[in-house]
């Protein structure tokens, strides 16, 4: 197979009148990438004017296996053609049974994990809402400890756990029952923020109430690709246990291989009580979310948390196919490791060239370009070259690379070339302007 490595963007703007007339102003990505897309496969998206774009955004890590992977696509088309159950609330279906059995065989058992699966409404925020509900129910406590720069969703319970002020401000009511403590490295290399947390929880006059849960991302996706160290995460797990709180790892963005393994916490020496998953779980971008927890924690009453679309059978089908295809042996993890190393080398080099720093882990990495304005200049330049890439961080100052994990090494390199060049022009231009 010949690998196509070069994007071919179009410059003409499509007609957007229908969006302006009928779609809410809340839309965001469409503003920075004003094309109308009509087709996608693998790492490529196509617009309706013949353009081809390399996708380094991957639906914010929802398309780890690329767009419309042929194996997943075939499984889904077969299922639909055979009138498989599409919607069945939480009724037992062949698709659900297959998914649960595959999850057990391919993921849980080889990793020695014993979790029960709760199919929440098929969005990440819903999985988080279910996780913190369960933690509050079990502990009888109300406070959840989340972290600076954490992002966990937009419904009121998950939004309270989210750090971003603009998102929080949308609530229109005060967001309660959550405290945000400093994440690993938040106060610089000399302050161990696990120590700070331990001290506050051990002090009956700290004003920090006993928590139901500690909710943490191992790498903060929206918060700027901050990667916590295994030591720190282990400390947090110990602190949770000692203080009677449940440890919840929100693996919605960092899981499903993004950081190198299926779960982002593998090999770190601790096991979360609860894990939330979504994004790449269905494999093909279909809505799907999962809250996993230790069997002893499964104290839900029937229907205590429910949702119309909690059994998205199309997603069961593609998720099952994805688990089997990618996670049945070690090949995929080796590919991710190699590509992650390539990505790391290239980003480090770019950072070194401009005196910048990099962030992240595995195939979830970015470069801190200092400001949201510079970052936007860079991503706009990339897009003009046919590279779809976005930013994250408190000030949108991190240019993040979330390429599909299945990307060919050559294509990854080609995309990084575009990024490298765009950074160079942006910073040169910026410095140039600044120097005048």
Binding positions for a copy of itself, 34-63, rule CB under 8 A = 34-41, 45, 48, 57, 59-60, 62-63
* 378-398 exposure pattern, b = at least 16 Cβ within 10 A, e = fewer: bbebbbebbbbbbbbbbebbb
C-alpha distances in Å from residue 260, one per residue of 256, 257, 264, 265, 269: 8, 5, 7, 10, 16
Could you say whether residue 154 binds a copy of itself (CB under 8 A)? yes
Q: Which of 1, 2, 11, 25 binds a copy of itself (CB under 8 A)?
A: 25
Q: Does 264 bind a copy of itself (CB under 8 A)?
A: no
129 is an interface residue for a copy of itself by CB under 8 A: yes
> Helix 372-384 to helix 409-435 angle, to the nearest 10 degrees?
130
Residues 164 and 390: their CA atoms lie apart, in Å, by 17
Given a contact cutoff of 8 angstroms between Cβ atoms, the answer to whether 360 and 189 are in contact is: no
Does position 376 interact with a copy of itself (CB under 8 A)? The reply is no
With CB under 8 A as the contact rule, the residue among 118, 194, 268, 319 that binds a copy of itself is 118
> Cα(389)–Cα(376) distance, rounded to whole angstroms?
10
Residues in binding contact with a copy of itself, number by CB under 8 A: 154
b/e burial code for range 282-316 (CB count within 10 A of at least 16 → b): bbbbbbbbbbbbbeebeebeeeebebebbbbbbbb
Give the residue with the Cβ less far from a copy of itself, 346 or 359.
Answer: 359
C-alpha triplet 266, 177, 205: angle, nearest 5°: 95
Cβ closest to a copy of itself, residue 160 vs residue 350 = 160
Candidate residues 8, 52, 111, 177; the one interacting with a copy of itself per rule CB under 8 A:
177
Return d(Cα 213, Cα 273) in angstroms, integer: 9
Give least dist CB 72 to a copy of itself, A. Answer: 9
Closest to a copy of itself by CB, 230 vs 287, is 287
Pick the piece of the chain touching a copy of itself (CB under 8 A) from 173-181, 232-240, 349-357, 426-434. 173-181
Q: Does 260 bind a copy of itself (CB under 8 A)?
A: no
Smallest separation, CB 212 to a copy of itself (Å): 7
Per-residue binding letters, 407-436, with a copy of itself (x by CB under 8 A): ------------------------------
How far apart, in whole angstroms, are the C-alpha atoms of residue 56 and residue 38? 18
Q: Is 254 in the site for a copy of itself (CB under 8 A)?
A: no
Window 289 to 328, contacts with a copy of itself (CB under 8 A)? 291, 293, 298-309, 312, 314
Judged by CB under 8 A, which of 3, 6, 31, 110 binds a copy of itself?
Answer: 31
Q: Using the rule CB under 8 A, give the single segment among 2-10, 148-156, 361-369, 404-412 that binds a copy of itself.
A: 148-156
Give the H or E element holding residue 97: helix 94-102
Residue from 104, 238, 373, 417 in contact with a copy of itself (CB under 8 A): 104
**Residue 211 CB, nearest approach to a copy of itself (Å):** 12
Least gap, CB of 428 to a copy of itself (angstroms)? 28
Q: Which of residues 6, 50, 77, 428 is near a copy of itself by CB under 8 A? A: 77
Burial of 31 (0-12, 13-18, 19+ CB in 10 A): exposed
Is 278 among the residues that bind a copy of itself (CB under 8 A)?
yes
Counting every residue, how long is the chain? 436
CA–CA distance, 61 with 54 (Å, rounded to integer) = 14
Give the one residue of 85, 342, 351, 380 binding a copy of itself; rule: CB under 8 A: 85
CA distances from 94 to 147, 294, 296, 314, 409 (A): 40, 24, 26, 11, 37
Residue 18: burial class (beta carbons within 10 Å; 0-12, 13-18, 19+):
exposed
Q: Does 109 bind a copy of itself (CB under 8 A)?
A: no
């Amino acid at each position: 197979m010949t690998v196509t490595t070069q994007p071919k963007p179009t410059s003409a703007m499509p007609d957007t009148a229908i969006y302006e007339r009928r779609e809410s102003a809340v839309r965001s990505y469409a503003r920075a990438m004003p094309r109308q897309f009509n087709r996608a496969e693998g790492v490529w998206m196509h617009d309706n004017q013949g353009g081809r774009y390399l996708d380094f955004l991957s639906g914010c890590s929802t398309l780890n296996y690329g767009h419309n992977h042929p194996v997943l696509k075939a499984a889904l088309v077969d299922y639909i053609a055979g009138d498989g159950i599409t919607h069945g609330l939480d009724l037992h279906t062949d698709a659900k049974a297959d998914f649960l059995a595959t999850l057990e065989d391919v993921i849980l058992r080889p990793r020695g994990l014993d979790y029960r699966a709760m199919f929440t409404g098929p969005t990440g925020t819903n999985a988080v809402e279910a996780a913190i509900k369960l933690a509050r129910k079990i502990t009888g406590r109300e406070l959840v400890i989340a972290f600076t720069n954490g992002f966990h969703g937009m419904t009121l319970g998950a939004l309270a756990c989210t750090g971003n002020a603009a998102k929080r401000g949308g609530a229109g009511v005060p967001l309660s029952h959550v405290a945000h403590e400093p994440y690993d490295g938040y106060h610089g290399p000399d302050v161990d923020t696990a120590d700070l947390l331990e001290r506050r929880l051990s002090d009956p006059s700290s004003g920090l109430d006993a928590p139901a849960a500690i909710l943490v991302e191992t790498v903060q996706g929206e918060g700027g690709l901050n990667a916590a160290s295994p030591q720190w995460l282990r400390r947090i797990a110990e602190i949770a246990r000692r203080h009677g709180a449940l440890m919840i790892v929100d693996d919605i963005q960092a899981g499903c291989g993004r950081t190198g393994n299926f779960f982002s916490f593998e090999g770190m020496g601790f096991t979360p009580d609860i894990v939330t998953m979504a994004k790449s779980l269905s494999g093909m971008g279909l809505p799907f979310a999962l809250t996993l927890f230790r069997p002893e924690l499964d104290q839900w009453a029937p229907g205590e948390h429910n949702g119309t679309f909690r059994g998205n059978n199309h997603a069961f089908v593609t998720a099952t196919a994805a688990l089997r295809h990618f996670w049945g042996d070690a090949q995929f993890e080796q590919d991710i490791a190699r590509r992650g190393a390539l990505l790391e080398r290239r980003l480090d080099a770019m950072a070194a060239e401009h005196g910048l720093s990099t962030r992240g882990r595995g195939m979830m990495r970015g470069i801190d370009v200092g400001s949201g304005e510079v970052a936007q200049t860079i991503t706009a330049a990339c897009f003009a070259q046919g590279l779809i890439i976005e930013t994250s961080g408190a000030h949108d100052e991190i240019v993040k690379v979330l390429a599909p994990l299945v990307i060919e090494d050559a294509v990854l390199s080609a995309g990084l070339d575009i990024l490298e060049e765009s950074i160079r022009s942006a910073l040169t231009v910026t410095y140039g302007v600044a120097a005048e």
